[in-house]
Amino acid sequence: MTSGPKTLIEFQEMFPNEDACWAHLRAVRWPEGFECPACQHRESSWLSQRRLDQCRACRRQTSVTAGTVLHGTRVGLRIWFLAFFFLGRHKKGISALQFQRDTGVGNYQTAWTLLHKVRSALSEGTGRLLTGNVEVDESYLGVREKGLSGGRQRGKKSIVVAAVESRGRTAGALRLTTVDHVNQEQLGGFVESVIDSSRATVCTDAWPGYAGLKRRGFRHRFETQGTGDRAAELLPWVHTIFSNLKTWLRGTYHGVSKKHLDRYMQEFVYRFDRRRVEHMLFEHVIQAATAAPPLTYAQLTAERTG
Ligand SMILES: [Zn+2]
């Protein structure tokens, strides 16, 4: 994997036009070269006007974007590549409004949809179970609600649970989720779904919601929660993460709606887990976007169930 552009100047040099982007996408999607989905023939003609590969044996036309988050896109590929660049390279990501301004893409909804499609791809491939000492805690996040205008009314709170590997002076991987209740069923269920019980010790405060972890087969260390400095001392990494998450959501997005919170959290986790390979993130994001299934605007805006 190449490291991708590190600066906007390099981006401009690597992707000066749409053709360069299409060539790069084909190389990422088909690293072994083209293979016809109908007859498995390995040679195609590139129809540059229509951006399609035509099989030289059966003449079937195939789009390199088919079955990816770029499926059927009417937005230029350079705009998508800029989204990969900003989401991968900016420590804080980018808001739809800023993206629209920076790229001149048609309207806010187009910018918003495109960024969320890329975010949805970032959730793929974070399935490794956490090991070692894992701090788990929950926090309340203020979110924007529809119909609440201005800053005076407070939206409802979302409950976010975090699990992060504590490696002493550094943190390992992170997992985040939202729950409706901080009870044993939901907190225990989350711990079970993201932590390897045979290779981890779970560290929490003394909240009764964590009381069932031993029964679920986990080594569990908990201490009575103190206040302020003491709390941060018991679970230092998880507190740092909540603080960074809140700052990020407030600063970049000025708060987000409850419905889409999960996708923003995925973006946060994606960048956090790859913070040591930051220089590779552009290529990582392209790989993720071409490996993830398409997502429609209707699916994006549908009410979350459960
Ligand atoms: Zn064919």
Residues 61-98: pLDDT tens digits?
999 999 899 998 889 999 999 999 998 887 778 889 99
Residues, the chain, total? 306
* Res 280 pLDDT > 90: no
- The pLDDT value recorded for residue 295 is 81
Average pLDDT over residues 86-114: 89
d(Cα 225, Cα 215) in Å, to the nearest integer? 22
What is the pTM assigned to this prediction?
0.82
Nearest to 167 by CA among 122, 118, 130: 130
- For the residues 189-217, what does the mean pLDDT come to? 94
Query: How far does residue 67's CA lie from ligand 1's centre (Å)?
Result: 18
**Ligand 1 centroid vs 270 CA: distance in angstroms?**
37
Q: What is the CA(121)–ligand 1 centre distance, in A?
A: 28
What is the distance in A from the centroid of ligand 1 to the CA of 117? 30
pLDDT at 275 over 70: yes
pLDDT the model gives residue 225: 61
Query: For residue 266, how far is its CA from the centre of ligand 1 (angstroms)?
Result: 38
CB 130 within 8 A of CB 163: yes
Ligand 1 centroid – CA 63 distance (Å) = 13
pLDDT for the residue 239: 92
Q: Is the confidence at residue 56, as pLDDT, over 60?
A: yes
Could you tell me if 67 and 293 are in contact, meaning their C-beta atoms sit under 8 angstroms apart? yes
Specify the pLDDT at position 53.
95
Separation of CA 78 and ligand 1 centre (Å)? 29
pLDDT at residue 149 greater than cutoff 80: no
Calculate how far, in angstroms, residue 52's C-alpha sits from the geometric centre of ligand 1: 13
Taking phi first (over 0 means left), then psi (-120 to 50 degrees means alpha), and beta for anything else, what does residue 93 get? left
Instruction: Write the pLDDT tens digit of every residue in 205-253.
Output: 989 999 999 999 999 998 776 665 666 678 899 999 999 999 888 887 7
Amino acid making up residue 158: S
Greater confidence (306 vs 290) lies with 290
| Average pLDDT, rounded, for the chain | 86
For residue 212, count CB atoms less than 10 angstroms from its CB and return exposed for 0-12, middle for 13-18, buried for 19 or more: middle
User: In Å, how far are 69, 123, 171, 289 from 293, measured between CA atoms?
Assistant: 6, 11, 31, 8
